[in-house]
Amino acid sequence: MGISVFIIDQERTFADALAARLEAEEDVQVVVAVHRRAPAASLILARHADVVILDADLPHNAAIRLCEELSGRKDAPRVVLLSYTSDAERIAAAVRAGAAAWVSKDESLAQLLEVIRRVAAGQTWLPPAEIGNVLRLLVREREQRREDDKLLAALTPREREVLTCLADGAGRGDVADLLHVSANTVRTHLQNVMAKLGVHSTLEAVALTRAQLERAAEGPDPR
């Protein structure tokens, strides 16, 4: 059985040409070629494709959002992102979102086919010229998360409660009511929190807390 491919690209001419060239391969079957905004993840899953060829240049960061949606689903297809540009920050964002490969639209058909076959076999592929930069970015981000987590771990249970309430959207007055303390006590806790975290505003402290809560909800870092 061949590799089933779902193509999503905002350029109709490119999508149709790519579909025709892939269909000429004995081991590749194009199940659909979409030339509009990104479809819902449920539509892609319903077609049971092995690989999704996704336009990384879709507006409003739609490609990254779709990658994130698909990466959390059971039996989701693996995603190959195509773009006219290849910079480390965009590729790192794609890797974090669950993409299996990033390929320049200027690459040859032979190279793209090799990537599709590798990805269908469970491998990954990144532009060789950017691999080092991408790995450095991902490692740096991971180290920063660990440092942030260490700082947050140094807070007292009450300080963490205050920050968690704020991260959930409560105002300072609401926090005082929820924790049955005075507004002055909340203010004191926040001053201590900012000093321990080395930040200059409540907003920064809340941002660190929200990021940690999101990571906890996602589970352990797979890298």
Residue 19 maps to a domain:
yes
Residue 11 maps to a domain:
yes
Residue 129 maps to a domain:
yes
Owning domain of residue 87? 3-133
Global confidence as pTM:
0.67
Per-residue pLDDT of the chain (223 residues; tens, 9 = 90+): 699 999 999 999 999 999 999 999 999 999 998 887 778 888 899 999 999 999 999 998 999 999 989 987 888 999 999 999 888 999 998 998 899 999 999 999 999 999 999 999 999 999 988 888 888 877 777 777 777 777 778 888 898 899 888 888 888 888 899 999 998 999 899 888 888 888 777 877 887 777 776 666 665 554 4
Assign residue 105 the CATH number of its domain: 3.40.50.2300
Residue 143 maps to a domain:
no
* Residue 151 CB burial class (10 angstroms; 0-12, 13-18, ≥19): middle
Place of tokens 């992102």: 81
Residue 201, Ramachandran bin (φ over 0: left; ψ between -120 and 50: alpha; else beta) = beta
- Verify that 159 and 58 share a domain, yes or no: no
- Verify that 87 and 182 share a domain, yes or no: no
DSSP structure class, residue 125: B
Picking from 75, 101, 133, the residue at the C-terminal end of a domain is: 133
What total of structural domains would you count in the chain? 2
Query: How many residues in the chain?
Result: 223
- Verify that 10 and 73 share a domain, yes or no: yes
Residue 37 maps to a domain:
yes
